Amino acid sequence: MPPRSARSGNRLDTGLLIACGLASVLALLLPDRLSDPVAGIVRRTVLSPLLAAQQRTESMRAAIAARGAALQTGASVAEQALRAPRLERENDALRALLGLAGRVRSGFVVAEAFHPTGVVDDFTLTIAAGTASGLTAYAPVVTADGLVGMIEAVDRGTSLAITWAHPDFRVSAVSEDETAFGIVQPHFGQGADRYLLELRGVPFRASLDSGSLVVSSGLGGPYPRGIAIGTVISELPTIERWSRTYLLRPAVLPSTLSAVMVLLPSAPRDSLRTAWTNVQASDSAMRAIVAASDSSARQAAMAELAARRRVMQAAADSARADSALAGLGPAPAVRAPTITPGARTPAPLPGARVAPPATRPDSVRRPPGAPR
Amino acid sequence: MTLAESGRALVGFLLLVVAHFTLRPLLGGPVLVDFLTIAVLFSAVRVRPGAAAAIGFAVGVSLDSLSPGSFGTAALAYTCVAFLASRLNAAFFTDNISLTGAFVLAGKWAVDAVTLLLAGGLADTQSLMQLLVWSPLSAVLTAVVALFLLAVARPWFAVTVAPNRR
């Protein structure tokens, strides 16, 4: 028979195991409204210095990566650096975010997003902004492409967000033409299909074509109306005969995120309603930004275009004069170079009349399924 | 354990916890080292099973606070694994480097397996891939790092067992 001290030690061990096990099971069973405050206290106290250190490390890693890119850029000329695919993508993403900021106008916070480390953290993001920046729980997280997810927990300097791939994610949605309402949720498929979305509960009479844009409806939740969620890929066969289910391609891939925008309750709803769907506004804002940021390149391009116009005009005049002298009637018209929609509009030449385009560049609609 | 040994063990534990949040993000890559599991296992084999369960619970709750929607999973996983580690260590421990490596490997994989099972089961292929491919790879890497730490910083991480626990 073991001595009394050993027996009491064993009883203490068993008691501690049972206590910890019960506490864990209790934590598992707790509803979110009770477990979130506890988790928040742990994050704000014990983990606060560690999370701060992790943020600094992430910044350091980003700085190291940026340092490498800067050295690479310095080794080549500026034009080549600007054409580097990675820089172009980053540039496009930042411009798109700027464009979105211009359309939303106010009531948002732009912050860096990174993925936490853990076994089951594929569907969550850590955002480097918190209550100090005005963030609140359930605030929508978006990019210029569309909806990323929702803030789940907020601390002073950081926030935790779930992405649309999280099993708990739901958003009330509507097609862009407002013919079909439904609920969007993650598609629990296998492999890569796990990273798709489903639009469920669409009335049977409402049919959506492939490529149709689906946006948030603004009903019953934290997501304001108009945030792009995804585009229809196809209809999913279901046993429900009274409603349809569609498979959606998400507008945003969370794995590629670096900077996100968190919408605050004060964000103007009317701006949000058209921020992702109004291509005209999108183009205008984008061209304004491009024009502002690339003013020197724009001036150079316009000067070149004006010179080409002068040469073409001179050739046309010369041909017309030659034809008149030869009595062969008017010379065929020589057209000035045409400008494709979306390109920068050239300045009219002094004294020359430029016919207005048949369609305004801003009114060019993005074809369904085309990348933004 | 003497007071000096306890102090070194505590420093070693804290260093591993800090490394989990600072060194691990720097390393990057698809297969990550789990410094927290090393810290829990190295601590568990030094203390009684009850204390090991408490350490595992504390570390698990800390991890759970970073994962909305799965609060309690890591706590339960680390509690069970730390308790078992302490029990197994009391029964079978030898100061053998390969056994220590296998011990860390099994512990890390067990933590991942329990966490995955509690977080949503193994319903899809992705979870199975995580359990059968990525978790074992991570466990191997974690075990290698644990052995490396034992080799270069033995005073802080060496596993010794009190005579009354053998």
- Cβ-nearest to B72 among A28, A36, A54: A28
**A119–B135 C-beta distance less than 8 A:** yes
What's chain B's average pLDDT?
83
Residue B162 forms contact with A (CB below 8 Å): no
What is the CA angle A346-A351-A356, rounded to 5?
A: 45
Q: Nearest by CB to B21, which of A54, A152, A189?
A: A54
pLDDT in tens, A300-337: 545 655 665 565 566 556 555 554 444 444 444 334 34
Phi, psi torsion values for A248, nearest 5 degrees: -115, 145
CA B154 to chain centre: 17
Can you tell me the mean pLDDT for A269-289? 59
Does A168 contact chain B (CB < 8 Å)?
Answer: yes
| Residue of A44, A69, A57 whose CA lies nearest to A114 | A57
Q: What is the pLDDT of residue A249?
A: 92
Closest-CA distance of chain B to residue A2, Å? 12
Does A166 contact chain B (CB < 8 Å)?
A: yes
Q: Which of A53-67, A354-368, B32-46, B103-117 bottoms out in mean pLDDT, i.e. has the lowest?
A: A354-368
Q: Which of B56, B68, B120 sits opposite A124 (nearest CB)?
A: B68
Asked if A341 has any chain B CB less than 8 Å from its own CB, the reply is no
- A221 in reach of chain B (CB within 8 A): no
DSSP code at position B31: S
pLDDT at A169 over 70: yes
- The residue-averaged pLDDT of A236-250 equals 86
Mutate to test the interface with B, among A120, A141, A159 (most CBs of B within 10 A): A120
Q: Which residues of B touch A163 (CB under 8 A)?
A: none
pLDDT single digits (tens) A85-126: 766 777 777 777 777 777 777 788 888 887 765 555 678 888
Reply yes or no on whether the pLDDT at A291 is more than 60. Answer: no
| Contact indicator for A157, A171 with CB cutoff of 8 Å | no
ipTM attached to this prediction:
0.84
Position B159 scores a pLDDT of 59
Q: Residue A318: its pLDDT value, please?
A: 59
Terminal C-alpha separation, chain B:
14
B contacts of A35 (beta carbons < 8 Å): 71-72
Q: Which residue has the higher pLDDT, A153 or A100?
A: A153
φ/ψ of residue A261, rounded to 5: -120, 130
DSSP output for A68-95 = HHHHHHHHS-HHHHHH-HHHHHHHHHHH
CB B150 within 8 A of CB B38: no
Written as six digits, the tokens of B156 are: 């802080």
Contact flag B48-A9 (C-beta cutoff 8 Å): yes
Chain A interface, mutation test: which of B18, B21, B114, most A Cβ atoms within 10 Å?
Answer: B21
Q: Which of B18, B53, B123 sits opposite A20 (nearest CB)?
A: B53
Q: What is the tens place of the pLDDT at every residue in A181-235?
A: 999 999 887 777 778 999 999 988 888 888 999 999 988 778 988 899 999 999 9
Window 223-262 of A, Cβ < 8 Å to B: none
Could you tell me which chain A residue has the CA closest to the CA of B48?
A13
Residue carrying structure tokens 């191997």: B140
Instruction: Output the pLDDT for position A205.
Output: 86
Mutate to test the interface with B, among A119, A151, A155 (most CBs of B within 10 A): A119
pLDDT band (50, 70, 90) for residue A358: very low
Residue A139 is which amino acid?
A
Q: Do A50 and B17 touch (CB under 8 A)?
A: yes
The answer to whether A54 and B24 have CB atoms below 8 angstroms apart is no
pTM for this predicted structure: 0.52
> Which among A99, A138, A128, A14 is positioned nearest to A291, based on CA atoms?
A99
Of residues A74 and A164, which shows the higher confidence score?
Answer: A164
Ranking A87-91, A134-138, A245-249, B16-20 by mean pLDDT, the lowest is A87-91
Position A322 scores a pLDDT of 52
Length of chain A, in residues: 372
Q: pLDDT band at residue A73, thresholds of 50, 70 and 90?
A: confident
Average confidence (pLDDT) over A68-74: 75
- The pLDDT score that the predictor gives to residue A3 is 60
